Structure 1
Amino acid sequence: MAWNEPGNKGNDNDPWGSGGGGRGGDQGPPDLDEVLRKLNKRLGGLFGRKGGGSSGSSGGSGSSAGLAGIIVVVAAIAWAASGFYTIDEAERGVVMRFGELRPEVVMPGLRWNPPLIDSVEKVNVSRVNTRSYSNDMLTTDENIVTVAVSTQYVVEDPIDYTIQVRDPQLGLDQAIESAVRHVVGGTTMDQVLTQGRAQVAAEIRERAQSYMETYGTGIMITQVNVENAQPPEAVQAAFDDVIRAREDEQRAQNQALAYANRVIPEARGEAQRIIEQANAYRDEVVNRAEGEASRFDQLLVEYQQAPQVTRERLYIDAIEGVLANASKVLIDAEGSNNMMYLPLDRLMQQTGNSQSGSGAGSRLQLNDQQIRDIADQLSSQLNNQSSFDRSRSSQTSTRRP
């Protein structure tokens, strides 16, 4: 049975009681005014105020004062708790106290600043931001080009980024536009459209960064890229023709250079070969002359010792040199006044005809068998000539008295 059910008078489970008998026969909840008075007394002791009488008016005022104190304490706790905040690793905090800039920069971590007194502006200093810009430009050679530029930047100084300029990104856009117009306006169309893009981008970055430093925006431009550069659509076809003509010119120049690189080394090599051959011929002639001179000196010594022998030897050598290049040979047979004629050219021609008739190659060369055949013919002719000479000599001897 519950403690507050009827008929439970003797039950001492009254939660509001202080002992076994409880509060006598009163089984209701405690008085709210009494609870407030007790709380008011405790708060009065905390704030140095003594407790008042027990009249009803003093109890009502005490209850109102206690409730106001609770509200003030809760509000103070909430105000203090709202001052905690976190700065990420990639961020920095800029503090404004009653609108006045604080010189220190809040570093990453858990921080506390008095609310409604300080205001903290978080600035990301590690993120790489990108801004794009595109517009028509007039080059220095009075041509119109459409240039698209992308800019990458980071916040270098969070205080300047927050305080110095009202809209830093708008200032960056204006600085990029001014730098692009200045650089493109001082560059020819060919440089902007072809090989000069990298130089144009570097000049744009340098000039735009100088503007940012002058304005004090706290922005550092890390990269400027010329993403697109082309002539207007009305002249795109004509410009494409010019580009193709330039490419054809470059290709012709490359082919000419390739031909020159191939021909010039060959000519140099041929010239060097001729020079080397001339040097070799010179050395050969000089060495041969020196050898002939040395041989003549040696022959002179031999000739002085045996003139007749040396003369015959020289004669034989000369005849060998002459007959080696002749196709007809005359032989003086011993014991006879007749000269034997050997038509070596006809013999070789007959041998060649016999070989061609038998299916041999058309190139005429004397092999061992041909040499044997010529030697046999020569031997037979010599035998015939010697027998004819002997017969004539015998007839002559018989006719003598």
Structure 2
Amino acid sequence: MAWNEPGNNEKDPWKNKGGKNQGPPDLDDLLKDIGNKFGGIFGGGKSGGGSGKSFSSIGIMVVLVVAILAYAFAGFFTIKEAEKGIVLRFGQYAGTVEPGLRWKWTFAERIIPVDMQTTRNLPSSGFMLTKDENVVRVEMEIQYRVVDSRNYVFSVTNADESLSESLDSALRYVVGHANMDDILTSGREAVRQAVWKELEKIIEPYNLGLIVVDVNFKDARPPNEVKDAFDDAISAQEDEVRFLREAEAYARGIEPRARGRVKRLEQEALAYKSQILLDAEGDVARFNKLLPEYKAAPEVTRQRMYLTSMEKVYSNTSKVMVDVEGGNNMIYLPLDKIMQQQSGGQRVNEQSSTTTINPSSNSNNTAPTLSGRNDRFNNGRD
């Protein structure tokens, strides 16, 4: 039977609440009752009996789940691409983590990211005393990067500061063992290499986890009080180097030509020597062939040799001298002019002439007298 049927008023929840027929509750009692139930979920009062205990257990579970989720999400972290993370568990080194999304135990582990790929710059400068007791201001800068994250963090208190102090020490040591002229002019590269070597020697025992990539010698100058004098000295040294380079270039240009000329003269001398030797050997061979003939007929051979020699001599000239027998006259024939006139189509008798040389008339040692014509030449031949 339902509680709201007639005759069943004892089962009415509003009238029989708590075993008493009290009637419907007012609004304040209803709100208070709802508040007590929600308070029991979070461990509130004990009103409500077994129902209150059930709501309290559910609240604790919800709180625990929320706390676990919050703790889990709080443990996620990210290591950048150029970094490496050092893990500290309760303050003690526990390893390293690679770049990417990682998770840690919150409140128990701490992550220290270390940049492993970026090249860092560290300058150093100051006034320093050189070996020859001069004061010079030197500026130098090094480039370095981290290669061992654990040593970089734990070997010393501050690896960057330790490297800076080591650079100052190495720079002052090298400058103190070098002359000022070398630092300002030609010895800059040697000073740079020496500083690099000395710096690596200093930091090696400390295991800083760093590597020196490069050392740059930026500037070196004397104090302002003596700067002008040193500028003049540097200009003079630069002029000296320039003149030496120009002289070397001139020598490199002249020497090959001189050597070529010497070689050409040597080749010409050797060629002339070979020619003379061959001509002499040819003459010896020719006279050796003529010797038997000369021994057999000396006069005939001598005459033939004379005629052969005269033939060679007169073959190279266009003028002919004719000695007329029985007289003191010598006939000169200008054959070159005769040939020119014949080639021009003119008559020889009208254009050419003969000249008679009378040696006896040259009593004053002057040039001989020229006279005569073609008819006299013809009479002399007859």
TM-score, structure 1 as length reference: 0.69
Shift of 1:283: 2.2
**Residues 153, 325 of structure 1: CA spacing in aligned structure 2 closer, same or farther, 3 A cutoff?**
closer
Which residue of the partner structure matches residue 54 of structure 1?
Answer: 48
* Aligned residues of 2:123 and 2:142 also touching (Cα < 8 A): yes
Shift of 1:145: 2.1
Shift of 1:178: 0.6
* Aligned residues of 1:141 and 1:189 also touching (Cα < 8 A): yes
Distance 1:163 1:72 in 2: 38
**Bigger shift: residues 250-259 or 86-95:** 250-259
Shift of 1:210: 3.1
- Residue 98 of structure 2 aligns to which amino acid in structure 1? M
* Aligned residues of 1:331 and 1:339 also touching (Cα < 8 A): no
Which residue of the partner structure matches residue 31 of structure 1?
Answer: 34
Shift of 1:261: 3.0
Distance 2:136 2:206 in 1: 29
Distance 2:84 2:380 in 1: 137
- Residue 248 of structure 1 aligns to which amino acid in structure 2? D
- Spell out the pairing of 1:105-116 with structure 2 (5 A cutoff): 105-116=96-107
Which residue of the partner structure matches residue 395 of structure 1?
Answer: none
The one-character-per-residue Cα deviations of 1:123-156 (angstroms, maximum 9, x if unpaired) are 1111211111121222223232222112211112
- Aligned-pair identity in percent equals 35
Which residue of the partner structure matches residue 369 of structure 1?
Answer: 340
- Spell out the pairing of 1:2-401 with structure 2 (5 A cutoff): 31-37=34-40, 39=41, 54=48, 74-102=66-94, 104-304=95-295, 307-319=298-310, 331-333=322-324, 337-342=326-331, 368-369=339-340, 376-378=352-354, 381-387=373-379
Distance 1:86 1:272 in 2: 79
Distance 1:262 1:342 in 2: 63
Shift of 1:175: 0.7
**Residues 310, 145 of structure 1: CA spacing in aligned structure 2 closer, same or farther, 3 A cutoff?**
same
Distance 2:379 2:83 in 1: 134
The one-character-per-residue Cα deviations of 1:1-46 (angstroms, maximum 9, x if unpaired) are xxxxxxxxxxxxxxxxxxxxxxx99998782322444x46xx99xx
**Residues 277, 112 of structure 1: CA spacing in aligned structure 2 closer, same or farther, 3 A cutoff?**
closer
**Bigger shift: residues 298-307 or 65-74:** 65-74
Unaligned runs of 5+ in 1: 1-23, 45-50, 349-364, 391-401
Unaligned runs of 5+ in 2: 1-23, 356-371
**Residues 55, 256 of structure 1: CA spacing in aligned structure 2 closer, same or farther, 3 A cutoff?**
closer
- Residue 377 of structure 1 aligns to which amino acid in structure 2? S
Shift of 1:304: 5.0
Shift of 1:295: 1.5
**Residues 237, 114 of structure 1: CA spacing in aligned structure 2 closer, same or farther, 3 A cutoff?**
same
The one-character-per-residue Cα deviations of 1:317-345 (angstroms, maximum 9, x if unpaired) are 35557778999975233xx612432468x
**Bigger shift: residues 376-385 or 279-288:** 376-385
**Residues 194, 370 of structure 1: CA spacing in aligned structure 2 closer, same or farther, 3 A cutoff?**
farther
**Residues 152, 381 of structure 1: CA spacing in aligned structure 2 closer, same or farther, 3 A cutoff?**
same
**Residues 212, 367 of structure 1: CA spacing in aligned structure 2 closer, same or farther, 3 A cutoff?**
farther
Distance 2:93 2:112 in 1: 11
Shift of 1:181: 0.9
* Aligned residues of 2:322 and 2:332 also touching (Cα < 8 A): no
* Structure 1 residue ranges, 4+ long, deviating more than 4 angstroms after superposition: 24-30, 61-73, 304-308, 318-330, 365-368, 370-375, 385-390
- Residue 376 of structure 1 aligns to which amino acid in structure 2? S
**Residues 283, 197 of structure 1: CA spacing in aligned structure 2 closer, same or farther, 3 A cutoff?**
same
Distance 2:176 2:337 in 1: 90
Distance 1:282 1:188 in 2: 62
Distance 2:38 2:192 in 1: 78
Please provide the CA RMSD for this pair.
Answer: 4.1
Distance 2:302 2:207 in 1: 115
Distance 2:273 2:36 in 1: 140
